[in-house]
């Protein structure tokens, strides 16, 4: 497949505004802070990581489709689209690589409408409620576990 492991990290709507959002749910790190932390972990594990964030469902679908034959794994925080985007779910299902869904907050302890993820059934796993560490754990899982 690919010579060096490559991971795509996709973030959905409003993740670009983390510093302006409720720190109780989303922590105090910005998206840029999280990306820097992920890059450091990727360097430690000798893996390449690319980032993508969009507030647009169609752009996220197109980015997922573009991952075919380019990445060994995907980490996705669909954000609000988690709960209703069949289009993102269907795009993820096309991928023949490991996928981990990540959420900064514990979606199962929040409002009832956030409890259901329509995207996680086509993912290898879900990490939620651990803040930015969830991204780091997902990178480690892809590099040291489910991508092997």
| Burial state string for 84-110 with b = 16 or more CB within 10 A and e = fewer than 16 | bbeebbebbeebebbbbbbbbbebeee
- Residue 55 forms part of a structural domain: yes
Catalytic residue among 71, 81, 103, 135: 103
Query: How many domains is the chain partitioned into structurally?
Result: 1
Average pLDDT, integer, range 40-69? 97
**Does 22 have pLDDT greater than 90?**
no
Q: What is the pLDDT of residue 68?
A: 95
Domain with 37, as residue range(s), is 6-146
Structure confidence by residue, pLDDT tens digits, 92-117? 999 999 999 999 988 777 667 666 88
For residue 61, being part of any structural domain is answered with yes
The region, left, alpha or beta by phi > 0 then psi within -120 to 50, assigned to residue 46 is left
> Does residue 34 lie within any of the structural domains?
yes
pTM confidence score: 0.90
- State percent of the chain over pLDDT 90: 70
Residue 130 lies in a domain: yes
Catalytic residue among 26, 71, 81, 132: 26
> CATH code at 101?
3.40.50.9100
26 flagged as catalytic: yes
The verdict on residue 19 lying in a domain is yes
Asked if 52 contacts 67 with a C-beta cutoff of 8 angstroms, the reply is: no
- Rounded mean pLDDT, 124-136: 94
Residue 113 included in any domain: yes
Average pLDDT score, the chain: 89
115 counts as catalytic:
no
- In-domain check, residue 30: yes
Q: Is the pLDDT of residue 145 over 80?
A: no
| 1 within a domain of the structure (yes/no) | no
Provide the CA 23 distance to its chain's centre, in angstroms: 19
């Amino acid at each position: 497949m690919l010579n060096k492991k490559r991971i795509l990290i996709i973030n959905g709507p409003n993740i670009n505004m983390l510093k302006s959002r409720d720190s109780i749910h989303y922590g105090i790190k910005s998206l840029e802070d999280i990306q820097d932390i992920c890059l450091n972990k990727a360097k430690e594990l000798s893996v390449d990581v690319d980032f993508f964030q969009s507030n647009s469902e169609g752009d996220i679908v197109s980015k997922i489709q573009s991952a075919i034959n380019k990445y060994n794994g995907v980490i996705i925080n669909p954000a609000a689209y988690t709960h209703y985007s069949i289009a993102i779910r269907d795009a993820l299902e096309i991928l023949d690589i490991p996928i981990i869904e990540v959420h900064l907050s514990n979606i199962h302890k929040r409002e009832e409408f956030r409890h259901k993820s329509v995207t996680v059934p086509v993912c290898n796993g879900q990490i939620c409620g651990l803040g930015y560490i969830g991204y780091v754990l997902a990178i480690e899982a892809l590099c040291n576990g489910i991508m092997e």
